[in-house]
Amino acid sequence: MNSHALGASLARARIRPDDGRIMSSDPLLQHIRNVPDYPKKGILFRDITPLLGHAQGLRDACWRMAAPFESRPPELVAGIEARGFILGGVVAHLLGAGFIPIRKPGKLPSKSVSREYALEYGSGTLELHQDCVKKGQRVLLVDDLVATGGSAEAAVLLLRSLGAVVDAGSFLIDLPDLGGRKKLETLGLKFHALLSFPGEDRKSTRLNSSHEWISRMPSSA
């Protein structure tokens, strides 16, 4: 997509290309469904499937995720399984980049490398093919949501271990009070998110993403 077309789409969305803080009137919010008590009681799930099923909403979201990097596009976009595949694939297409799938364990058929990351209870693991990136290639990380930042941090470190230059990340939703943004910025990542939901900390019991979730202990505990 050329600069004119990208700029026009952003104008229709009524947002500046470099705007990472979205107001309550943001049109994307109407496509984010709040599901209480899922996957466990006391958790509020931010469901993006209505957005994925809305042609204009999905198009605008992906254009806006790609916009800050249009002037200096990456060679590759990396998306974290599973919703990062959907958003990342579209962003890669818009930026004229290739796509790297960052997968859960046991899903890659060839030689791979892996990295564990901490969850609230337990741990998770991400994997990459060893030959998915060449040394020095610039990679943009894309995912649907950042909360504690564990999975995104693992993805950045995994890509860098293979020689990739990962200096930016583009996300649909940020839960800033959970510290993920700060963690990624500490790694030197330029952080871009379309929607921000402040006030969602461990005490207020909120869901973050398909990779990480925060739950509240019972009040009697």
Q: Could you read off the pLDDT of 145-162 as tens digits, one per residue? A: 999 999 999 999 999 999
* pTM for this predicted structure: 0.82
Domain that holds residue 73: 26-196
Q: Answer whether residue 77 is part of any domain.
A: yes
Instruction: Give catalytic residue positions.
Output: 83, 120
The mean pLDDT of 135-145, rounded to a whole number, is 98
Q: Answer whether residue 179 is part of any domain.
A: yes
Q: Answer whether residue 205 is part of any domain.
A: no
Highest mean pLDDT (candidates 12-16, 115-119, 131-135): 131-135
* Model pLDDT, residue 210: 42
Residue range 28-84, pLDDT digits in tens: 999 999 999 988 888 788 999 999 999 999 999 999 999 999 999 999 999 999 999
* Model pLDDT, residue 43: 79
Rounded to whole angstroms, the Cα distance separating 118 from 110 reads 25
CB atoms within 10 A of CB 85: 18
Q: What is the CATH number of the domain that holds 82?
A: 3.40.50.2020
Q: Answer whether residue 11 is part of any domain.
A: no
Asked if omega into 147 is within 30° of 0 (cis), the reply is no
Residue range 188-219, pLDDT digits in tens: 999 999 999 887 654 333 333 444 443 222 22
Give the per-residue SS3 of the chain: CCHHHHHHHHHHCCCCCCCCCCCCCCHHHHHCEEEECCCCCCCEEEECHHHHCCHHHHHHHHHHHHHHHCCCCCCEEEEECCHHHHHHHHHHHHHCCEEEEEECCCCCCCCEEEEEEECCCCEEEEEEECCCCCCCCEEEEEEEEECCCHHHHHHHHHHHHCCCEEEEEEEEEECHHHCHHHHHHHCCCEEEEEEECCCCCCCCCCECCCCCECCCCCCCC
The overall longest dimension of the chain from CA atoms, in Å, is 58
Percent of the chain residues past pLDDT 70, beyond the cut = 78
Residue 110 pLDDT class (50, 70, 90 cuts): very high
* Model pLDDT, residue 40: 85
Count of structural domains within the chain = 1
Q: Answer whether residue 4 is part of any domain.
A: no
